[in-house]
Structure 1
Amino acid sequence: MENIISIITPSYNSSEFIGETIESVIKQTYPNWEMIIVDDCSTDNTKEVVEKYIQQDNRIKYYLLKNNSGAAIARTKAMELATGEYIAFLDSDDIWIEEKLEKQLSFMKKNNYYFTCTSYQQIDENRNSLNKTIKSKKKTNYNGVLLSCPVGNSTVMYDVKKLGKFEVPNIKKRNDDALWLQILKKEKYIYGIPEVLMKYRVRRNSISSNKLDLIKYHWYLYREIEKISITRSIFHIFYWGFLKVCKIK
């Protein structure tokens, strides 16, 4: 029997895009998946959009949080509900290439890797290409992710049987980076597939669009969650800022 892949999708007011996201999952060439959408108390019609797809495909599951709690709590809840041997992450406005799950699972099994990501491209809100590709590194360890996370959230898949489940650190921004760091304390490397298998939607009102606001979340990640020194934290903040100014990342 083929392995079940649990797809983790937190959602908040994403009715405009989540239909395309779900359709990219339904079109996957690998069929043995479950998609767990955890709604963080959306005030738009996200629920109605998702329910339309649930009626068409029982592999899609919907869970509504009791209180608006943030993406970290939603991701953690989805992971709790997951039943698959593998977990993959997909944000509610991103899009997978049709062969994404099939190629990534094959890559992991062939090489005996437990934690992987892929390259991805950026698109705008209308799905037009921004002509920018973020290439995954062949392998990255804890320090590499801490310094300059090269990992796209919606490209990640890991082996639950080998690594277990995790509680996503509860910070508003950069909680995905914080999760990868947690996993890399158990698994030495995250391995990258060079092929583009995801399209990342860059939104004007994205929670990660304000770079100055992100500084305090990076600081909190470094000091409060990862407990690294003040000197090293300052170095990482300046290095991250350098990459942003130079548009390297």
Structure 2
Amino acid sequence: MKFSILIAHYNNAALFKDCYHSLLKQTYRDWEAVILDDASTEQEKEEIQSIIRGDKRFKFFENEKNSGVGVTKSKLIELATGEICGFVDPDDAILPTAIESAVHLFKQKKNAVLTYSRFMICDKNLNPIAPFKSSKQVQNRNPYFFNYPIQIAHFVTFRKDIYEQTEKMNPELKIAEDQDLYLKMYEQGNIYFINDTNYLYRTHDGGISQNNNKEKSYDYFAQVVFKAMKRRNLKMINGKKIPEKYSSDKEIFALLEYQNGILYRIKKKISITLQKIFR
């Protein structure tokens, strides 16, 4: 079972070495790393190519012009030749058994369409700061699941053939393209949580989620959730009518506030426990 590591790169060559070395340490051997550069400077592209030179498992491609993360990640999936895919940002890293644990689960669970695990929040030098504690097994096949609050996070892997049966990732998204992918895959089958920390998430000034785009992240995420509601033909949620057209993130997230309530969380926990017993 071949695994495709997908890397969307834009002017991050200085931090890519940690990512590169983490891939070389993988205990699972049947993988490729597909890198798509989104019109970085020539110096940046040359540095990346210098790092991967001589290793045929690494494949380097370029966008003709700067196109954004939605376009770049969509193209990366198209370029992948593996049965299973997983995104790794060029400034992050994965633990040695990350790919092996994901592939093992896909082989074990034939109905799995996506897996995810825990990640460690790290400083700019990839030194651990704190684990992301919100990741846990979610309830499968629930039309009212929108990954809000966020539970599905890095390290996410998915079956390419199942992805191709969806509407595919929205290339117009500048942020929340990952949430768009997760919700579309969720609608196709069962997803499973790997209770290990497999991903090192670097926090630094140049990261996409740490820059000025963060102010728009709620709006992009809300648009993704709204489109999922429409795909699922939902009209009401928790007794409230879903709007015909998208207006604001506040309106959409207000519909989901009940999912933070104690009663809802107790019911969800019971459902997930039963799901684990009878799956």
Same fold (TM over 0.5): yes
Q: Which moved more, 1:28-37 or 1:163-172?
A: 163-172
Larger-gyration structure (1/2)? 2
For 2:10 and 2:258, how far apart are their aligned partners in 1? Answer: 31
2:59 aligns with: 61
The 5-angstrom pairing of residues 123-142 of structure 1 reads: 123-134=122-133, 136-141=135-140
Structure 2: stretches of 5+ with no match in the other structure: 235-241, 244-249, 261-279
2:125 aligned counterpart, secondary structure: coil
2:177 aligns with: 175
Query: Contact 1:29–1:99 (CA<8 Å) still a contact in 2?
Result: yes
The percent of aligned pairs where both chains have the same amino acid is: 26
2:277 aligns with: none
Alignment of 1:215 onto 2:214? no
The CA deviation at 1:55 is: 1.7
The CA deviation at 1:116 is: 0.4
For 1:162 and 1:224, how far apart are their aligned partners in 2? Answer: 19
Query: Contact 2:179–2:221 (CA<8 Å) still a contact in 1?
Result: no
Q: 1:145 to 1:41 in 2, by over 3 A?
A: same
2:220 aligned counterpart, secondary structure: helix
1:199 aligned counterpart, secondary structure: strand
Structure 1 residue runs of 4 or more that deviate by more than 6 Å after TM superposition = 237-241
The CA deviation at 1:208 is: 2.1
For 2:114 and 2:163, how far apart are their aligned partners in 1? Answer: 9
Query: Contact 1:118–1:156 (CA<8 Å) still a contact in 2?
Result: yes
1:114 aligns with: 113
Query: Contact 1:136–1:193 (CA<8 Å) still a contact in 2?
Result: no
Q: Which moved more, 1:35-44 or 1:107-116?
A: 107-116
1:159 aligns with: 159
Q: How big is each residue's C-alpha offset from its partner over 1:67-109, in whole Å with a ceiling of 9 and x where there is no partner?
A: 1111111111111111111111111111110111112211221
Q: Which moved more, 1:156-165 or 1:88-97?
A: 156-165
Number of positions where the alignment pairs a residue of Structure 1 with one of Structure 2: 238
1:17 aligned counterpart, secondary structure: helix
Structure 1: stretches of 5+ with no match in the other structure: 242-249
Q: Scaled by the length of structure 2, what TM-score is found? A: 0.76
2:263 aligns with: none
2:276 aligns with: none
Query: Contact 1:147–1:236 (CA<8 Å) still a contact in 2?
Result: no
The CA deviation at 1:207 is: 2.5
Alignment of 1:202 onto 2:230? no
- For the aligned residue pairs, the C-alpha RMSD in angstroms reads 2.7
